Amino acid sequence: MRWLYGKTGVVSTVARYAQRAVQRFVPAMYGSYSRMVGGWFASLGARTNGDRLETRVPETYLNTNPKNIVGLRHLLATEDFDYVFRTNTSSYVNLGGLDEYVQGLPDAGYYAGFIGERDGTRFASGTCTLMSRDLVEYAVSDPAWEFGLIDDVAMGRSMARASVEVQPLERVDVLTSEDLASLTAETLSGAFVVRCKSNGGREHDIEAMRRVHHFYTVSAS
């Protein structure tokens, strides 16, 4: 498991304001600006520090795209793997269930997740993306990669250029107090990723994570 980090501090703040300014005041230039800046950020490299994968990409929402590319390139260069599963800190992943799931997958050409759609392109949400190594290699070397898009949409468009269709993965959502109150072990059966992010605040999300962990732990015992 690796936690992906960007660079914080003054550099991150300057990058965020610069990107927002171009996006808001010179929208016609945003595409070319994103390609130039995103491509440069994606070339900065990364290092592994314990379980942290630390990039030099400024930590901003818009820079999630080049940060993801840097992280994937680093994994390809330093890790021996068959699949990558990408999620975020607001999702709970049952690692045992994930390991069991990948045992039955094809060796290559596999791209799956919780499916979204934007402008006619189907993509795997960043909360839940599973990819075989060959497709990771394709994505990080894609000459048409679109740094102006958020990373999961850009990945979906890259996979479309590779003529790869995204496959569905089951994801359970615990987004409201009602979802939390009705959560049971049966609800989680068959899924290994649970989305716990809500508009109800941090306390809801923490309790959701704890409840989900409890049910998976009980079912495994």
User: What is the structure's pLDDT at 19?
Assistant: 81
Nearest residue to 66 via CA among 4, 128, 130, 132 = 4
Last residue of a domain, one of 80, 112, 141: 80
User: What is the structure's pLDDT at 220?
Assistant: 67
Q: Is residue 193 part of a domain?
A: yes
Q: Is residue 97 part of a domain?
A: no
Q: Is residue 62 part of a domain?
A: yes
State the Cα–Cα distance between residues 154 and 144, nearest whole angstrom: 10
Last residue of a domain, one of 57, 80, 103: 80
The answer to whether 75 and 84 are in contact (CB under 8 A) is yes
Q: Is residue 57 part of a domain?
A: yes
Last residue of a domain, one of 32, 51, 80: 80
Q: Is residue 132 part of a domain?
A: no
All residue ranges of the chain with pLDDT < 70 are: 220-221
User: What is the structure's pLDDT at 95?
Assistant: 94
User: What is the structure's pLDDT at 2?
Assistant: 93
Q: Which residue range is the domain that position 29 belongs to?
A: 1-80
Q: Is residue 90 part of a domain?
A: no
Q: Is residue 124 part of a domain?
A: no
DSSP lists the bridge partners of residue 173 as 195
User: What is the structure's pLDDT at 129?
Assistant: 97
CA distances from 136 to 26, 57, 77 (A): 33, 19, 12
Q: Is residue 141 part of a domain?
A: no
The domain total for the chain is 2
